[in-house]
Structure 1
Amino acid sequence: MRNGGETTATGRCPSRASGRRRGSWRRSAAGRSIASCRVRSVAASRRSARSPKIVVSTSRRCRGSWRGRTGGCSSRRSACSPARPSCARTATRSRRSCARWPRTGCRSRGRWCGRRDRPGCWIATWASHPYCDTNRRRATAPDRLRAVRVAVFDLGSTSFQLLVGDVEPDGGLTPVARDRVVLNLGADVAATGRVPPGALDRASQVVRRFRDLADRAAVDEVIPVATAAFREAVNRPELASTIEAAIGTPLRILSGDLEARATVAGIRASVAFDADPWIAIDLGGGSLELALVEGGRVGWTETFPLGAAWITTTLVRTDPMSRGDRRAIKAEVKDLLAPARERSGAPEGTLCIAAGGTAGALARLLAAERWPSPPASLNQFELRLDALDELSRELADLDQSERLALPGIDERRAELLPAGAVVLATALGVFGADGAVHSEWGLREGVILEEIDVPAPASPGDVRAASVARLARRWGPEGEHQGTVRTHALELFDETEELHGLGAHERELLAHAARLHDIGVRISPDKSHRHGAYLVEHGGLRGFSPQEVAMMASMIRFHRGAGRPKPSYGPFAGLDQEERAACQVLTGILRIAHGLGRADESDVVEIGAKVRRGELRILVSGSANPEGAVAEAEERAGVLERAIGRRIRFEIVPEGTLVTRPA
């Protein structure tokens, strides 16, 4: 049974029992009305084919059945079955173990119901019961189980967006499908206070299409959320009932506080940084949400009617925007945010991280000014306040047709960007920030991550390492070659540190590139370096800036072949001179490590280096056939020779004579 309907204590879904495609509950055991449930046989068969098995990591059996709303296990049954019939389609029983159903109850702050069971269990509960106003299935996965596919419907003030993502066993999130339709409901609400019937009909059609896409993607769970336009509309009950009927799942209208907290969760999983405290900025079409995070906890949130669509409708009177309109927007932002900053207690110059569609559209415009061919991902792209101010003035001086001609413009947001740029730049100025870091993940991703209670990353390195590990698992070939190359690369980096002068940051990038250097093999062994670089560019790595992704892609692209990184390669062309020089050194090291690692792993045991008579001597010791590995490495040494300005010679020394630093 999909995300619609409640279950009784012991009953079965009538649509399942009778074999009909559609059925509805009439009354629960407690006499309360129960929502209708929709069963789609095609989607069900697809989902059951890929649905993970639910098992318990402990050998202790859970004997019992569901006891109604209070939960718990009885001792009369010899084996468990899925406690609620709604879960029978997504839970495959094990004869040796069972899924123990937790007690359910509404959580604080309006979040979803239910809780985790004992460690090791994957709970798949249906949290709709007579005393709960939510309806959903909950899943948390141990490492040995496959991913859960979740769809989020983000019904925003400017656009409706669909995100389908796989929640990995380690708690990571991998987006697999996205869709977006611009409806601008926020403009209607700002102008009239309600969503008109025509716009509501279009909204209903869009969510039906999203539901169909989600069904075809065989999702395990659908989570529809709505934001400012639904909060502020006077006909909100009509909106909610229409959308719920179209989706078949209760709609969750987020408060400003919940919207800000979900955005914080998305940012934490997408951006790697050490700053504390920091401010999350979610600039949407209908509202602006702010959250102050200090010590890993959200200490303050507040929402303001400063969304791009709202401001455009209420304060912008001409196109192009007049100077008077621009002054009015700035005054409105300052009047609302200056007291809020005092309430938040945020220090001057606190790091700001901006999420949301408006911030993303502005980041693309600024990236198009910097790079002839902007990167595929602008996660962690820095929006400097001076550049943002200049862009806001430029947008204000252009009319709609002129804005549409700008490189990098988002045509669907062109009308709202002049006001959005002024709001964001003024907000940063109020908080004393000299810019903001853009996060590609925000509300939608945060809703999923909060749903499964993924803990915040312990350190910035954890975000990057987990993202690289997921990409390596998906595309990397099996075997120990990647680990061998990584070890050789880090040993050589450490042994030549006095020559290249690079630090821990570059060492970390080299380690990640070494782990991913062969991921293109599954596409084409002959051109694995080209395909591997493409996968790194477009793989959605989290925690890396566009420049860092470009450096890793360049290393992987040129770790094979006769060439070296050159400006004709787009990602390398986007680097500055210092980054290019570092990339040349790292690529040269990876090329040699790849050569040394192409032979059997026992052929090379240790690597050392020393400078003698103006040349770099790389010392190699091995127990089997180090000569073959050295021959491979000598052919690839030219890039590093040019990068450090030293001739490189290889020497084979007896095993055990080298003392190397730990990798």
Structure 2
Amino acid sequence: MNQTRAVISVGTNSTRLLVVDFGAKRFGIFGDSLTRVMKARSVGTRIGEGLDESRHLNEDAMRRTLDVVQEYGASIGPRTPRPDVIATSALRRADNAQIFAESIRDLTGSELRILDGDEEAGASFRGAVVCLDDVDDVRAGVLDVGGGSTEYATGMHEHADRTASCEVGAVRLTDWFPALSGRDGLVQNGVIEAARNRAGEILQPLKQFDSVQALALVGGSATTALAVSKGHRGSVGEMELTRDSLTGAFNLLCELPVEKRRTVPGMNPQRADILPAGMLIILTALEMLGHARATVSPTDLLFGYLLLQHERELGARFHEERAAG
């Protein structure tokens, strides 16, 4: 039986594709999970551009996102079932989300599933915990800083038992404080402190969580911040990001205009304008959670979503076979 599954995710900043084969011989540890990934792609389409001000997905943003979705659909191949298509913060907020959803259905044959914040947090947790050691023995937390929102989830074993979704992300914080983008050069300390305070206000729900022994970071802000702190992209080796190294990279970027940020080793050029905002959210969250370091997980929302769907399919099949005797 074909156990290949695909998901396309429309995020506030990036549109991504993940194709995973669940028919591999072994399963359960981080290394094995990576061998299942058949295709993974990400393109910065920024569908959330200007959304906070207008509450409306603009035509250009929708078109460039739909073009990438169409390209992903064509690349999957006939042996992979029709992909699920999910969306997060930007589509949760847009007043014309239904128009975009109809275009997705026309292109892919799939109904767009707009995840609520708790669903997003839970899927990110499920995807990330496979990279944490001894997760069965400790309470873990997963922080997902996206373009439009920040999710946090905690739990033991493989599933989250508490979640929160906070309405701040790298794109939105940059929209609120445009100087963070570096388009005007050096970011002044007053702007940084104002942005930090705004992020801190919105992230207050994180203070209500019990402490965790292991913490993972997911999302483009975290992976790019790690690459910049290490000075190279691709296989970044050590996956730990410390507050000290993150602070150093943040200060460096805030001293550079956006054009020069794009040339910094490890930088994803498409993220050069929004990365300081994402870093600031991570730094604020780490301080609130009382952690000086965290593991950056390469498996995140998309892998977690597919894994949860696969587990549901296995559970339903088990009950059907049991009922059939």
Instruction: Report the CA distance between 1:376 and its aligned residue.
Output: 4.7
Instruction: Report the CA distance between 1:290 and its aligned residue.
Output: 0.4
Please say if residues 186 and 286 of structure 1, whose CA atoms lie closer than 8 Å, have aligned partners that are also in contact.
yes
The amino acid that maps onto 2:170 is A
2:20 to 148, 165, 190: 165
Q: Distance in 2 between matches of 1:439 and 1:358?
A: 12
Instruction: Report the CA distance between 1:268 and its aligned residue.
Output: 2.1
1:206 to 68, 81, 98: 68
1:265 is paired with a residue whose SS is helix
Instruction: Report the CA distance between 1:438 and its aligned residue.
Output: 0.5
Instruction: Report the CA distance between 1:202 and its aligned residue.
Output: 2.1
List aligned pairs for 1:616-635, cutoff 5 A.
Answer: none
- Give the total of aligned pairs: 301
Partner of 2:189: 323
Could you list the structure 1 runs, at least 4 aligned residues long, displaced by more than 6 angstroms after superposition.
none
Q: Alignment identity in percent? A: 25
Please say if residues 271 and 379 of structure 1, whose CA atoms lie closer than 8 Å, have aligned partners that are also in contact.
no
The answer to whether residue 115 in structure 2 is matched with residue 261 in structure 1 is no
1:421 to 276, 279, 284: 279
1:453 is paired with a residue whose SS is helix
Instruction: Report the CA distance between 1:358 and its aligned residue.
Output: 1.0
1:310 to 149, 168, 172: 172
1:395 is paired with a residue whose SS is helix
List aligned pairs for 1:17-416, cutoff 5 A.
Answer: 52=1, 148-169=3-24, 170-171=26-27, 173=33, 174-215=36-77, 218-274=79-135, 276-294=138-156, 297-317=159-179, 319=182, 320-338=186-204, 340-344=205-209, 346-347=210-211, 350-368=213-231, 376-378=234-236, 381-416=239-274
The normalised TM-score by structure 1 is 0.43
Q: Distance in 2 between matches of 1:231 and 1:393?
A: 32
Please say if residues 152 and 206 of structure 2, whose CA atoms lie closer than 8 Å, have aligned partners that are also in contact.
no
The normalised TM-score by structure 2 is 0.86
The answer to whether residue 300 in structure 2 is matched with residue 442 in structure 1 is yes
Taking a change above 3 Å as real, the CA distance of residues 435 and 342 of structure 1, as seen in their structure-2 partners, is same
Q: 1:245-302 CA deviation, whole Å, 9 max, x = no partner?
A: 1111111110111111111111122332456222100111111000121465422111
Q: Distance in 2 between matches of 1:419 and 1:342?
A: 20
1:272 is paired with a residue whose SS is coil
Please say if residues 291 and 301 of structure 1, whose CA atoms lie closer than 8 Å, have aligned partners that are also in contact.
yes
Q: Distance in 2 between matches of 1:341 and 1:362?
A: 21
Taking a change above 3 Å as real, the CA distance of residues 258 and 201 of structure 1, as seen in their structure-2 partners, is same
1:280 is paired with a residue whose SS is strand
Greater C-alpha Rg: 1
Q: Distance in 2 between matches of 1:416 and 1:429?
A: 21
Please say if residues 125 and 154 of structure 2, whose CA atoms lie closer than 8 Å, have aligned partners that are also in contact.
no
Taking a change above 3 Å as real, the CA distance of residues 201 and 266 of structure 1, as seen in their structure-2 partners, is same
The amino acid that maps onto 1:168 is G
Partner of 1:639: none
Instruction: Report the CA distance between 1:315 and its aligned residue.
Output: 2.1
Q: Distance in 1 between matches of 2:252 and 2:189?
A: 12
Q: Answer 1 or 2: which has greater helix percent.
A: 2
Structure 2 residues without counterparts, runs of 5 or longer: 313-325
List aligned pairs for 1:473-488, cutoff 5 A.
Answer: none
Structure 1 residues without counterparts, runs of 5 or longer: 1-51, 53-146, 369-373, 455-663
The amino acid that maps onto 2:235 is S
Taking a change above 3 Å as real, the CA distance of residues 227 and 403 of structure 1, as seen in their structure-2 partners, is same
The amino acid that maps onto 2:164 is E
Please say if residues 285 and 307 of structure 1, whose CA atoms lie closer than 8 Å, have aligned partners that are also in contact.
yes
The amino acid that maps onto 1:398 is L
The amino acid that maps onto 1:256 is G
